[in-house]
Structures are given as C-alpha cells and as structure tokens.
Amino acid sequence: MSLRPVDHISRAIPTMEGAGVKLHRAFGFDDPEQMDPFLLFDDFRNDRPADFQAGFPWHPHRGIETITYVLSGSVEHSDSLGNSGSLGAGDVQWMTAGSGILHQEMPEGNSAGQMHGFQLWANLPSSLKMTAPRYQDVTSGDIPEVIDDDGTRVRVVIGSFWGQTGPVDGIAADPQYLDISIPPGVKKTFPVDTYRRAFAYVFEGAGAFADASPPTGVLLEKEVMGQEVNIRDMSGNRTVLRFGTGDEVTVQAGPEGIRFLLVSGAPIQEPVAWHGPIVMNTRAELNQAFSELRNGTFIRPAH
C-alpha cells in the first residue's frame, strides 16, 4: 500500500453564477488536465435567501455530466425535454447532458432559509459527447451509509466502498463519490484506486491529510481523545486537496471532527475545448454547438 501525497491544496474562492447566486468555487475554468476527468466543483452554501433565490435560469449544457448533491434546502429543476423534479436534503442527481440540453435549477432554502449543496462537472469522452441526455435522480434514503466501529460514517453516493455500492451507475468516468464524517481525534485510512484522479473537499470541521499543510493554520496543539493533534497541519472549511499517485488516503480528524467529500475518477486524457457550460474536444465542435444554439437546432431529437 502506498500513501497518496497531496499535490495541491487551496481554498474555494467566492464567485457568482446564474442570476446572482453567491457560491464558492473549489476549482474550474483552469487547466482541465489538473483534475481530469473532473472540470469544476462549486459549493453553494448560504444562510440568506437573497444570495441564492434568483437561481440558475435556463442555460445549455453539452459534452459533460453534472452531479448535484444537496445537503440543506432543495433544488427545483426542469428542462427542455419536459423533465422536472425536486432534489431535497441528502438527494443527488447525476445529469448526463450528452448531445445537449437546456435546463434550469432553482434553489430554495429550508425552514430557516438555509441552502447548501455541491455541483461537480465531469467530462465525457469523445465517444459519448453526443450521447442522448439522461438523468439519475436518487433520494437520500437510497444512498447507503456505512458506520465503522470508531464512529466513522461514509455515505456511498457513487461507486463501491466497504461492501456497499452507490445507486448511480453507467458513468463514463467510473467515479467514486463519498461523503465521509470522522469523529474527533480519529485517524482513518481510505483506499483509492491507483489509476483514478482523486481530490478531497472539506466542508465541516478540520483534519490533517498525511503530508498536507493548509493555506492558513493556527499554531496550536490540543489533546483530543488522548491524542496530541497538531492544529497547524489541519485543513478546514472550504479546503480542496488534490492527491498524487498511490492507493490510499490517510486523514487525522481534528478536535471537532471532520466531514469531507472524497471523489475520484478515471482520467479521460483527451483534448478539451471549453467555453462556459459546453465542453467538446475541438474548437470546431465548440463553434458548432454555439451556432446550433443560435439557430435553434441545439436540442437533438430522441431516437
């Protein structure tokens, strides 16, 4: 077994998308090779409805898959093919845009006005860029959760882990998407396929990921459950870590525990031509997509 080193660590950056939704972007619109097969990851978390209620009105996608995971509040969605629905707390939606779709996503806060969710974009290989669009909507109760003896909890959203398999299937990147909670002071090692690109996104508490050092730290040591925990090595809220090669990731939870997403997928290793919500392999394909948007032929008839 070999420990995956941390190649890069950074904080999610405040940005605005849609009709004025305030969110934090962990990565996206940079070098697509860095996270291949993943293109973009957004954390949309707000306690003020005015910061998110305008939502993401009608917009196109082609050539990618979007994965939306809701923790608080809900997201109403509808599209140009007549599909519609609502994602509630704990639900996930995997949308394969394929040949093209127009859709909208409108977030709504919970009873306290809070909204929290994530959206991840995964690339499609050239052979599937123009596949028929499809949805996989999964309710929270259908996502298996495994609880280890030390209190570690893992929701298996996608892929297989600790004898459980997530309900989303048939995805080009063959991904694994885990929602992991580790109690205070617990040190835990998680297997990750050697051939997958992997990253972690911390959104509650803090923890030390092997050799990682955070962008900012507190020079303090604290005893947690009989162990000395060095806070200076901890990555906290809205931190993204990209891992190098290896087959396992080790995490030491801090004094408040830690909750993070651990995501991995098989690199596609193809050229990327990307503009906004459309990702193709060549500039000519990208130009064609925008030409079709202008002339009304973007949506392909179902076969």
Tens-place pLDDT, residues 205-223: 999 997 554 443 333 344 4
Mean pLDDT of 120-135: 94
Q: Which of 172, 176, 252, 244 is nearest to 209 (CA)?
A: 252
Cβ 268 vs Cβ 123: under 8 Å: yes
Look up the pTM and report it.
0.90
Question: Locate tokens 């060095």: which residue?
Answer: 230
Collapsed DSSP state (helix, strand, coil) of residue 215:
coil
**Cα–Cα distances in angstroms (integers) from residue 142 to residues 137, 155, 215, in the given order:** 10, 10, 37
* pLDDT over threshold 90, residue 278: yes
pLDDT in tens, 8-44: 999 999 999 988 999 999 999 888 899 999 999 999 9
Q: What is the pLDDT of residue 226?
A: 43
Collapsed DSSP state (helix, strand, coil) of residue 142:
helix
Q: Which amino acid is at 248?
A: E
Which helix (H) or strand (E) segment is 284 a member of?
Answer: helix 283-295
Mean pLDDT of 65-71: 94
Among the ranges given (19-28, 112-121, 225-234), the one the predictor scored with the smallest mean pLDDT: 225-234
Put residue 162 in one of left, alpha, beta given phi > 0 → left and psi -120 to 50 → alpha. left
- Structure confidence at residue 167 as a pLDDT band (50, 70, 90): confident
